[in-house]
Amino acid sequence: MSTTGGDSYDYVIVGAGSAGCVLANRLSADSDTDVLVLEAGTPDEKREIGIPAAFSDLFNSEVDWAFDTEPQPELNSRECYWPRGKTLGGSSSINAMIYARGQPADYDHWADLGNDGWAYDDVLPYFKRAEHNERGPSEYHGTDGPRNVADLQQPNELSEAFIEAGQIVGLPHNEDFNAGEQSGVGFYQVTQKDGQRHSAADAYLKPVLGRSNLTATTGAQVSQVRFDGRTAVGVDYVKDGSTETVDAAEEVILSAGTINSPQLLMLSGVGPAEHLAAHDVSVVHDLPGVGKNLQDHLQVKLNYACEKSVTLEGADSLWNVLKYLLLKRGPLTSTVAEAGGFTSVSAESDRPDIQFHFGPSYSVNHGFDNPDGHGFWLRALCLRPESRGEIRLQSADPTADPAIDPQYLTEGDDLETLLDGLKLVREILGSGAFDEYRGEEVAPGTDVQSDEGLIEHIRETAESLYHPVGTCKMGDDEMAVVDDRLAVHGVDGLRVVDASIMPTITSGNTDAPTTMIAEKAADYILEA
């Protein structure tokens, strides 16, 4: 393997996902600043990326890292599939496009943990700065930002039935989950524009690729951050079989995500010293929290057969494909998880601890094992799990996947909360709003009513909802990895800007919070 390179930039950004695309745009706005973005994946040219309803076709494809976790003892020792985007836009190019910011209390909690400037009132301006919300400006929403936020064009009638069913069981209708009060059921807003996915790459990166001071390189997997003493001075990366090196005059910024950012820190000598030594990695700085504090949303769902032919089955028919290609209309504009909601199932919780997503189609095992015919599903997830996992090196080889161990259901009331959520799922789908649609419950079947039987259903079928966070957490305690300006503790010239910096997971989907984090970080970097 040959070695080439030696170019220098002011900022080197590792990863062109939701955070990296934001940073590339904001930092390169200064024409006197040279910015390089390195993305391990391919350009976002795969046709299915742009078609909302086709997102599950991207799973286990060339634009998916397609990670698997370690066997999970509390999930019958199953390995869990974790898709992550490996293309321009990162996971914003393969996700379900749901725009959910979380609860104000999430961010106030970050501030209470000692992270100055991260309370809800501090971050709301950055949420607004990032979005062009088609509903128009308000106290909670902006219209001048790059990322388009829209309402679904043509919601399925089954999604309407879900919203009615939620109200039947006592949940209020919520028109906007991102306007302070999160409780209730309704339609999710989505990151779409004119019926197509609007990823971070679409919003932030592609419009500015013509800037002479911005370079974006795909197929470039970073192998290490280089240090001079304890100052980051550049990175090495592999492209087309050659190792190349670049210098960073100002900063190296890791935006490689919750799995790859801590892996890269450890490969570069920043992490738990004993663990690094075990893999013959020279220690630059002993930082024990790197890779720890892993959190994710674990979800469980019920699928029902549908007695009416009104689902997304057949959405890819010739007629619907033509309708989409010519008009950007029809069922292919669906995000599948069209509607949902938030509520509390715990008497001790003063805010929602469960999130719902409803889909007018079958979804069994990430969609890999769907039955034939028409069906629908509803899932519940525990919003703020107490369980904490970790990312570890399996090898000093940068091309080897790290060990991913979320340690699902090992702490606190996570299992009880998920069980109560599953019971509420059954209650909602059993309401009168679904009487004309509801067929057979696919699994575990309505003959399973005991807590023991439902818990076994959880252990056998629960899946990730693809929201890993926390492995480079922000804070000032001994397990913190970055400070409240996202600079890595104990070294200079290095920041982490992505979902890994969240000290605790947000109460909802994580793409919008990750975008906000990058918008805020850009200001910190430019002020430095």
Burial label for 323, CB within 10 Å (0-12, 13-18, 19+), is middle
**b vs e for 204-225, b when ≥16 Cβ sit within 10 Å of the residue's Cβ?**
bbbebeeeebbbbebebbbbbb
467 belongs to the catalytic site: yes
Q: Judge whether 3 and 242 are in contact, CB under 8 Å.
A: yes
Alpha-helical regions (H) of 231-386? 257-267, 273-278, 318-327
Alpha-helical regions (H) of 220-314? 257-267, 273-278
**b vs e for 35-69, b when ≥16 Cβ sit within 10 Å of the residue's Cβ?**
bbbbbbbebbebebbbbbbbbbbbbeeebbbebeb
Pairwise CA distance, residues 345 & 160, whole Å: 23
248 has which bridge partners? 9
E strands within 421-476? 438-441, 463-464
CA atoms within 13 A on the CB side of 122: 18
Secondary structure (H, E, C), 2-58: CEEEEEEEEEEEECCCHHHHHHHHHHHCCCCCCEEEECCCECCCCHHHHCHHHHHHH
147 has which bridge partners? 131
For residue 503, give the nearest of 98, 108, 200, 80 by alpha carbon: 108
Residues assigned a catalytic role: 467
